[in-house]
Chain A
Amino acid sequence: MSQSLSSCVIKLHKEHHALEDYQGGVPRWCNGCGDNAILAAMQRLCADEDLAPENTVFVSGIGCSSRLPHYMKTYGFHSLHGRAFPVAEGIKMARPDLNVFVSTGDGDCCSIGAAHWIHALRYNMNITVVLHDNHVYGLTKKQASPTSPRGFKSNTTPYGATLEPMNPLTVSLGVQGASFIAQGVDWIPEVLYDILRAAYLHRGFSFVRIIQRCPEFMPKVFDPWLHDPQRTMLLTHKDGLTLSPGIASAYRNQREHDPINIDRAREIASLDDPIPVGILYRNPDAPCYEDLRHAGQLRSPEYIRAGLDREFDKYTVWPEGHADA
C-alpha cells in the first residue's frame, strides 16, 4: 500500500487511541445480556479503526439497547423511543465529517420507530446501525415485541403472542435504496466483530441485525441454536465474510453467498432455522442522501448576503428615481 509522505507524517502525529479511550461507564445491563457482546465489539472496532472519539457520535432511541452510548467514551445522543434514526440523520446532514452510529432495539426500530427505519434505509446516509434484537421488551419488563415468536408468553400476551414475528431482514431488503444488510448473533463474537467492521467500512446505511439473548425475560430461547452449530449458517464470500480456521471448523454449515445478489439475499433472509449469519446484501454504488444533497457546504456571509439580495430584488418596489425603479 503506497502512501504519500505528508499523509505518513500526519499519521505519525496523530494520537493513537487504545481500547480504554472508548470505554465509558460500567454497563448496567444484566449478566449474560447480548448487549455486552455488541458493546465490546463496538469498542474494539473504534480502537482498531482509530476513530477520533471527539468525531464519533453514538445515537440511540429508548430501551436496553439504547443505553449503549452511555458506555462509550465518545459523543452520544440517547434520544427518544423510536427516533434515533431521524436524530442521526440530522447529525450526519449537518456534520458529514462525523462518524455516526445508531443502536436500536426490536421495539425501538421495528415497532414505534418503524416508519423512520423504512425511510432511513431509503435515505441511505452513511451511518452504521445495530439492531439489538432480543425479541422482547426488556426495559419495560417483558412485553411481546414485533419479533417475539408466536406463542411467546409475556405480560401483555399472557396466553401467548398472537401473531407471527416480523422479520427485520426481509423488511429491510424490501426497501428500495437499502445498501447494506447483515445479520450476526451474540454467541459468535468473532464473526459479530467482522460483520460490524464490514458495516462500518461500507459507505452508506449499514443495517446489522444482531440476534441476542435476554437472560432475564427470554432465557434459553436460543439454546437449541447454541447447542447445535449446524443450526447457524455462515455466509461466506470473497466480498463478504472470510472465516478464521477456528470458526470455520466450529461452524461447518457454510454457504457461499455473493452480497451483490439481492434475490438470493431475500431468499436467505427468509430462513429462520438455520439462522443465517453474515453479509446478506451490499451495494457499494448506492448513492448517499447527504452526497445527493451536498451536505456540509461552507458558506461565507458574503455568499448569503448575495443570495438574499437576489431574492429581495424579486420583490422590491424601488423609490422613484432609483436605477431599478
Chain B
Amino acid sequence: MTQTATLAAPEVILPAPRPATPIPEAIVEVISDSGEGAQRCGQSLGAIAARMGNGIWTTEIIPAEIQPPARSVAGASGIRIRMGSGRVTNGGDQTGLVVAFNEQVLIGRVQAGELKPGAKILLECMWKTHRDPAVVISYMKTVEALLKDGFEVYEVPLEDRCRELVADPRKGKNMFVLGILCNVYGLDDQLAREQIARIFGKKDAKVVASNIALYEAGAAWAETNLDFKYCIPAQKSTVPQIVVNGNTAIALGVMASGMDICAMYPITPATSASHYLSEVFEKIGGLVHQAEDEIAACAFAVGASYAGKCAVTITSGPGYSLKQEVIGLAVMAEIPLVVVNVQRGGPSTGQPTKVEQGDALAAIFGSHGDAPKVVMAPNSIEDCFYSVITARKIAETFGMVVVVLSDASLSTAQQPFPRPVFNETWLAPPVDLTPVPPGSKAYDWDPVTGLSRRLQPGRVGGMHTVTGLAHDRNSKVAYDPAINEEGLRARSLKLAALQKTLKAPPVFGGDSGDLLLIGWGSTMGAIEESVTRLRADGLAVSSMHLRFLQPMPSGIREILARFKYAMTIEGNWSDKPGDELIDEDNRRYSALAMLLRSRFLVDIDCWSEARGQPIKPGDICRVAREALTRKGHTS
C-alpha cells in the first residue's frame, strides 16, 4: 500500500479559501509616488469590476508636478475606486481600504480625513529596513501613529516580492497590487488577465506575461496573508456599456457632433481630451490644431467656424480667461463656437490638477460689454459626451458661443454608461454654399427671435465683411445709437429664443418638501446620493440639477415655490456666515445661488467648498441636516 501511495501525485495542500463577506459597496484607494502606476492599477481595477457588472466611479489624485519629490506628502499620486452593486455616481465619502507605497503619501490622505475610522491600510514595508535611518524612523513612527488612531495596518513586502519576478520592482508593483485587490474583492480572474493583456497589448507578449506573473503573485500573496475578503454582488448590464473618463467622453462627443476642427493649447486638466482627439480625430477626417497660444487657438476656431462648420476649442480656467476677447468677437459677429472649459482651481494658476466650479460667472458674464452666450454644465461622464453634441447644434442654430463647463473631477473620473448609438442627426450639415439674391443682408435679424441666416464665404451674392465693431444689418460699421441697440437686442433675444425650447429641470426626490438642494455640473451624483440617504431617514429633502446655467429654463420659479427652503451646493467659494465681518450686506454667495437669487428674488442659501476635492455625499447630508435644524425642522 505504501508503494501505491508513493506512485500517487503528491498532495498539494492549499489553504482553505477565505470566506468572502458580501458588501454592497467598497471605496479603495491606491496611493503612491508619481510614476509608480497607481492610477493604472486603479483604472484596471475599476474596468474589471465594471466588466463584471459592478457600478464604478474612479477619482484620480494627481500632484501638480510631473516628478514631485519622492516620499512627500504633497507628491501623493493615486486613485480612488468606488465599486458598488448598483450604479455609482460619485467617489463617495471615506475610503475603507488604502494601499500605500510609502507612509508619506499616506499621511496626506489621513490628514485630509479621507480614511474611514478603522480603515484597513496595506503599507509597503520595505522602508522598515531602509539604509537611511531617517526613513526607518519616519516609517516606524507613522505606523505607530496609525495603529494608535485605530487603523488596521497590514505590512506588505511589495517590492521584495516583485523583485523575485522583475528587474525593476518599482515599475511592477502596481500589477502586484492589482492582484491583491482582485483577490480581496473576489474579482474575476479571467477578466483581470484580459485587462492586463489589453493594457500592455501594444507591447510585446513578454511584457504581458511578466505583468500577469506580477498580478498572480499579488493574488497569491493576498490569499495567503490576508484575513479578509469581500464580494460585491454584481449584476451584468443587459445593454452594452462604455467605460471612459469625462475628457475621453468630451473627445468622443466632438467626433460624434460632426465638428471638423478642434484648436487647442496644452493646459491641465483639459489636455487629455485633446490628446485622445489628436490620436483618433484624423482617422475620421477631423483635425486637432495645437496653436501657439490660447488666444490663437480660439481665433483659429472662430476662423474655421466662420468659413466652415462650427469648430471647438478646449481649455481650462487660465486659458479660458485668455480666450475671452475672441469669445466676445464670436458673440458680436454671431459666429458659432463651442468652448469646452474643464474647470480647475482658481484664480490665476490656482490648483491645476484639482476640481473647482469657479468659472460659471466668468463664462456667463465674461468678455467686456454685453456678450450673451450659452453656458451648459455636464453632470456625469455620459453627459460630457452628449453635451458637446448639443452644444454644437445650439451654436450653429443660434449663431452663438456655447460654453461647456466640465471640471477636473469629471475629466479623470470613469463611470460606465450605455454605449451611444450613432445618430446621423448629431452631425453638422455641410456648409451651405447656395447663392443668395444680391443685396441679401448679412444680419437679417428676426424681430422676434433675433435669429438671422448665416452667409458664409462661397455664397454668391452674400459678400460682406464681418466685424467686431458695432454694425447694422448689412454688417456695415455703424455708430448710430438705434442701430447699436438693434444689434444688442437681437443678440440678446437669441438667448430668450433658446430658453423657450428648454425643459424645466427634473426634481430628484419628492416634488415638494422642506429643503431643495440645487446644484450644477459634476456634483449631481453626490447631491442625489445624499438626497436618497436623507429621504431614507424621513427628511423631506429633494434636489434639482441645472444643465443650462445660461439661459435658465422656465419652471424653476414654480419648483422653488414648492419647497420651504432652498440652498445651492457648489464646489466654489462663498463667504461663510460665521466669519466676523460677514453679514447679509456683504456676503458673497456662490455662483449659482447668486444667479438664482437675482432672477427669482428668493432667499436661496448656499453651501460651498473649494478644497480641490470632489464634494462628498456625507458632507452634503450633514449640511442639509444643519440647514433643517437652523430652520427649526428636526433632523
Contact = CB atoms under 8 A, between A and B. Distances in A.
A143 B239 CA distance: 67
Contact of A90 (B299, B461, B477): B299
Contacts of A299: 260, 284-286
Given A93-B289, A317-B243, A53 B307 contact: no
Interface residues of B, number: 71
A86 interface: yes
Given A86-B296, A90-B311, A77 B241 contact: no
B295 A54 contact: no
B304 A93 contact: yes
A115 B236 contact: no
B96 interface: no
Contacts of A72: 465
Contacts of A298: 285
Contacts of B306: 77, 87, 90-91
Given A115-B296, A116-B296, A57 B307 contact: yes
B241 A94 contact: no
Nearest to A56: B457
B419 A312 contact: yes
B280 A69 contact: no
Nearest to B431: A95
Interface of B: 50-51, 236-244, 248, 252, 255-256, 258, 260-261, 263, 280, 282-287, 289, 291-293, 295-297, 299-309, 311, 325-326, 329, 333, 416, 419-420, 422, 424, 427, 431, 457-469, 476-477
Most buried by B among A53, A85, A89: A89
Contacts of B283: 307, 310
25 contacts: A24-B465, A56-B457, A73-B463, A77-B466, A78-B466, A80-B299, A80-B329, A80-B468, A83-B295, A83-B296, A87-B306, A89-B300, A90-B303, A91-B304, A95-B308, A119-B292, A293-B289, A304-B285, A308-B422, A312-B420, A315-B243, A317-B50, A317-B241, A319-B238, A322-B240
Given A308-B422, A309-B422, A316-B419, A115 B243 contact: no
B463 A317 contact: no
B2 to A, nearest CB: 50
A320 B311 CA distance: 39
A95 B284 contact: no
A56 B458 CA distance: 8
A245 interface: no
Given A75-B465, A94-B308, A293-B287, A317 B420 contact: no
A118 B50 CA distance: 49
Contact of B285 (A85, A303, A317, A322): A303
Most buried by B among A89, A93, A305, A306: A93
B561 to A, nearest CB: 43
Most buried by B among A70, A75, A318: A75
A58 interface: yes
A70 B467 contact: yes
A224 B101 CA distance: 77
Interface in A279-325: 293-295, 297-299, 301, 303-312, 315-320, 322
A269 interface: no
A59 B304 CA distance: 13
A55 interface: yes
B249 to A, nearest CB: 10
Contact of A316 (B241, B304, B464): B241
Contacts of A39: none
A301 B258 CA distance: 8
Given A70-B476, A94-B311, A315-B242, 13 more contacts: A75-B457, A79-B468, A83-B326, A86-B291, A90-B311, A94-B260, A95-B458, A294-B287, A297-B285, A301-B427, A306-B284, A316-B241, A319-B238
Most buried by B among A58, A73, A95: A95
Given A293-B287, A312-B242, A312-B419, A54 B252 contact: no
